[in-house]
Amino acid sequence: MNSLLKLFVLALLIKYVHRVYNRSKYWPPGPRGLPILGNIFQLQGLSWYKFYRMEGSVWYDLYCPVVSLNLAGQPMIILNSHKAASDLLNRRSSTYSDRARFIVGGEILTGGLNFGLISYNDRWRRMRRAAHEGLNVQAAEKYRPIQEVEAARLVNHLLCDPDNWDAHLRRSAASTVLCSVYGWDPIGPKDDPVVQRINDITRRMARAAIPGANLVEIFPVMNHLPMWIAKWKREGSEWFAKDTKMFKSFLSDVKEQATTGKCKPCFSVSLLENQEKLRLDNEEAAWVAGIMFAGGSETTSSALIVFILAMVLYPDVMLRAQKEIDEVVGRDRLPNFGDYDKLPYIQATVKEVLRWRPVAPLGVPRRAAESDWYEGHYIPKGALVISNIWAMNRDPELYPDYDEFRPGRFLDASGQVNKKFSDMASMGHVAFGFGRRICVGMNLALQSLFVDIACILWALEIDKATGNDGNKIVPSRDACVDDGVVVRPAPFVCKFTARANVTDAMSDHIKGDSVM
């Protein structure tokens, strides 16, 4: 009997391997993997580097605009070029707007309520529409006064306590989004536990969205295991209950304040006013607002850290940006959104920050809803499709000196922002993704980055720190911290110095504000 069972299992394995081989020989080229398991173990750590053509990569000789991997029979397609991503994710969006199934991140941790991770279905359309109506280009403008206030507070905190600049950037980004989403007053260190808790939600979801991070994603049959055996299921369900309770309490507070006229205009007020029209139940509405914060705070603060790193490494860029600010704004007041059109180099600096070190280098995997052919290669139905934003933002044909931080690449001969990048919504980069799944909060993020960067450069010189030996400390341009989807520079030290007339010009902004 045992021999017959072994023969039966062996026959199943041979049939499985034969089927995978027959299908995969038409896939795009990719690195050789292990029998049955394929390339699972090659996904560990800094995978955007591995998917990208670079010297020393084990996949260097296999590079092409579209690469395929085999995750134990699950095909994964990597898009490394703007053309491939635009052709598929923009022009064939009906086929490539679905999400991969995230059993842990999309179903257990978030109960199918994180619309960034769920399938292209009715719930996604309703929740996405609610987010879009509150954060589109026109709607985002009403948050500008909040962002100007937060930018001034950030400058004050950097002036008073420069050694903790990283914490100030994180808190400022969180405060901006919380004020915009829930109408909160500006937050301080006392609110750090709440910010930390929501950022932890972001990290849990991000890690759960990494292909291969959980075995149940590769072997879905494991999801049928009972709760007491399946730790990921037990813990995920507990977190979902806690997070839902918190998000519902936030939205309930807004509703209560709105009825008494005490709530400031914010995303949640608009969401509640239109909840019936948008056909959202209470849990869906609470998670729409919650995801707006969870998705916006960590990414914006990480982009600001990239900006600080760039200023330390490229002082000539900082000087040119400060020259433009001084000529337009002067030294008597902080920059504001009224200066936007007159500060093209600052606009270009924001673009370069997002291109040079994208904080979401691989985005979130899509799923091919139907089988497709692209440039002679077969993409099977159900394949995971990943846009390698890191590689696209380093395309040598578009950015010849791609590893250098050079905002001028986005300006035309007259010094104005160049609009030539047609496949990138004229942004010049693809940091916010593609098609119907493009980042819904990008307008709010771009506004925050513009006013924060302009105010920091107006107020402060940013330089290398000096070590105990008297030498300048040069931070690594490549070292990073990977939290899953979000990647930011590794911790580094630097020096902030107040520029001329800052204290006098800041006097009206800093009354009653404190870093303590």
Each domain of the chain, given as residue ranges in start order, spans: 1-96+361-393, 99-326+411-428+431-510
In the prediction, which pLDDT does 60 show?
A: 42
Place of tokens 């009354």: 511
Separation of alpha carbons 118 and 102, rounded Å:
8
Residue 439 marked as a ligand binder: yes
For residue 141, report the phi and psi dihedrals to the nearest 5 degrees: -65, -30
What distance, in Å, lies between the first and last C-alpha atoms of the chain?
74
Place of tokens 């950030």: 154
Sign of CA dihedral 206, 211, 212, 218: positive
Please count the helices (runs of H) and the strands (runs of E) in the chain. Answer: 19, 12
**3-state SS record for 3-53:** HHHHHHHHHHHHHHHHHHHHHHCCCCCCCCCECCCECHHHHCCCHHHHCCC
In the prediction, which pLDDT does 3 show?
A: 59
For residues 232 and 108, the answer to whether their CB atoms sit within 8 Å is yes
| Pairing, β 384-387 against β 74-79 | parallel
In the prediction, which pLDDT does 329 show?
A: 96
In the prediction, which pLDDT does 514 show?
A: 57
Separation of alpha carbons 19 and 217, rounded Å:
20
Closest by CA position to 246, among listed 72, 342, 110: 110
Q: How long a stretch of residues is the chain?
A: 516
Distance of CA 328 to CAs 332, 446, 450, 503, Å?
A: 11, 20, 15, 19
In the prediction, which pLDDT does 305 show?
A: 97
* Ranges of residues in the chain whose predicted pLDDT is under 50: 1, 8, 12, 15-22, 54-61, 516
- Please tell me whether residue 314 adopts helix, strand or coil conformation: coil
DSSP state of 74: E
Separation of alpha carbons 157 and 160, rounded Å:
5
Q: Average per-residue pLDDT in the chain?
A: 85
Separation of alpha carbons 467 and 120, rounded Å:
53
In the prediction, which pLDDT does 217 show?
A: 77
In the prediction, which pLDDT does 182 show?
A: 92
- Assigned fold of 1-96+361-393: 3.30.43
List all residues 6 or more positions away from 288 whose beta carbon is below 8 Å from its beta carbon.
115, 127, 130, 131, 271, 280
In the prediction, which pLDDT does 515 show?
A: 53
In the prediction, which pLDDT does 54 show?
A: 40
Cross-sheet strand order for the sheet of 98-99: 66-71, 74-79, 384-387, 366-367, 98-99
Tokens of 295: 């998705």
For residues 506 and 155, the answer to whether their CB atoms sit within 8 Å is yes
Question: DSSP letter string over 388-423?
Answer: -HHHHTT-TTT-TTTTS--GGGGB-TTSSBP---GG
Return the CATH number of the domain spanning residue range 99-326+411-428+431-510: 1.10.630.10
In the prediction, which pLDDT does 211 show?
A: 65
Separation of alpha carbons 399 and 93, rounded Å:
26
Mind listing the pLDDT tens digit for each residue in 460-509?
Answer: 999 999 988 889 999 999 888 887 678 899 999 999 999 987 776 676 66
For residues 163 and 495, the answer to whether their CB atoms sit within 8 Å is no
Distance of CA 13 to CAs 7, 19, 33, 181, Å?
A: 10, 10, 16, 52
Closest by CA position to 199, among listed 235, 215, 175: 175
For residues 456 and 158, the answer to whether their CB atoms sit within 8 Å is yes
